[in-house]
Chains A and B, each alone.
Chain A
């Protein structure tokens, strides 16, 4: 097995002495070896058999944590809509109000998610019109439902000025978007100049209609409510108040 060996050198080397490790060292090493043999070594790959569930459980826990964090972040992000509100034109609130009044006589702007979605399309169209008007030097007509004054001025200013004003308003809007979703409703309602309604408030209004015997209006409002909040689960007690009572049995 060994090559390059010189017997004479090897012999002289052997004559240097036969040093041995001390017995205590031998015993310590052998004891450690025995202890390790009784203990399974940590594998580098997922073990098979009875220990496999450790890894599955850990993976599941990590996954749940990741999903929870993602949902939490998602709930904390009304940002795009809150920040983009200043870009919507002054006409948009009135258009929205008119639509709301048509669809539900006594309903105001809805809570943010559905309301903002409904606002976007007419808002974009109106914004384009506003831009054209601004470019041609015309000014939009006075609106019955006015957005906050700053925003009106913003819409009528030149683009560069508008951007400057919008950016200065951004901190306010960012401050507005920080509270919980329920608290966002007031910010949206200021913009739309209609009292904001939470789902609960809407249900109470429908219950009031029902109580006054205005069943048709109540039915319509309830249908609108269900369309707007398809996943909302109405409590039993409230359901009894808002739903048309069935025929007596």
Chain B
């Protein structure tokens, strides 16, 4: 139920008291949002804590939700604000990608090792990005936000959002080009 409805419609329904609409909305965005948080902080425990807080804020703010922008933009703006608070308090470090399932896919052990190594370099490059560039990249990848929406979610100008995203993509692409 509600699978075909737009995010904005579901959120409006939830604002009106329809809890099932929230369930649908949550199912749609839970994984991506979690990954976004996970790639932005130090430990998984912190990521889970922030993740829950973000959804609590969504629930509390349901009364003031209005369809002025995409639901995704609104959701990730809440996530951004929470992350900024976190960064300010604790400084920025990222979750180590060790232990995460790495979908290499290559059957040959040598190839597998090479793939794993390439992925590790990519993960390290992502980790090494300046926070705002990394955030722009993650909003783009996980939230599927456009440059304008990234700007809206992060409270920055479109030029700044575009620049950050471009730099992030360039650095990550350079890592891939290196092998």
Contacts and interface: CB of A to CB of B under 8 A. Distances in A.
Contacts of A40: 17
A18 B32 CA distance: 9
A223 to B, nearest CB: 68
Interface stretch (B76-84, B85-93, B94-102): B94-102
A30 B62 contact: no
B14 A33 contact: yes
Contacts of A233: none
Interface string A1-26: 11111101110111111111110011
Contacts of B38: 19
Interface in B107-133: 118-119, 122-123, 126
A17 B176 contact: no
Interface stretch (A41-49, A134-142, A159-167, A241-249): A41-49
Interface in B8-52: 14-15, 17-19, 22-23, 26, 30-31, 34-35, 38-39, 48, 51-52
A37 interface: yes
B55 interface: yes
Contact of A12 (B59, B101, B122): B122
Q: A interface, how many residues as a size bin? A: 35 or more
B59 A33 contact: yes
A149 interface: no
Nearest to A26: B30
Contacts of A22: 48
Contacts of B169: 4, 6, 9
A33 B19 contact: yes
B63 interface: yes
B63 A43 contact: yes
A10 to B, nearest CB: 6
Contact of A17 (B14, B100, B165): B100
A19 B22 CA distance: 21
Contacts of B14: 33, 37
Contact of B144 (A1, A4, A37, A43): A1
B95 to A, nearest CB: 9
Interface in A95-115: none
A235 interface: no
Main SS at interface, chain B: helix
A17 B102 contact: yes
B145 interface: yes
Contacts of A43: 63
Contacts of B59: 29, 32-33, 36
A72 interface: no
A28 interface: yes
B97 A16 contact: yes
A4 B35 contact: no
Contacts of A29: 26, 52, 55-56, 59
B149 to A, nearest CB: 8
A15 B119 contact: yes
Contacts of A42: 63
Nearest to B15: A41
Which 3 pairs across A and B sit closest by C-beta, in order of nearness?
Answer: A41-B63, A17-B100, A37-B19
Given A21-B51, A29-B26, A42-B63, 5 more contacts: A6-B169, A16-B119, A17-B102, A33-B22, A36-B59
Interface of B: 14-15, 17-19, 22-23, 26, 30-31, 34-35, 38-39, 48, 51-52, 55-56, 59-60, 62-64, 97, 100-105, 118-119, 122-123, 126, 140-141, 144-147, 162, 165-166, 169, 172-173, 176
13 contacts: A1-B144, A2-B144, A4-B147, A4-B169, A15-B102, A15-B105, A18-B31, A18-B35, A21-B34, A21-B48, A25-B48, A29-B59, A44-B63
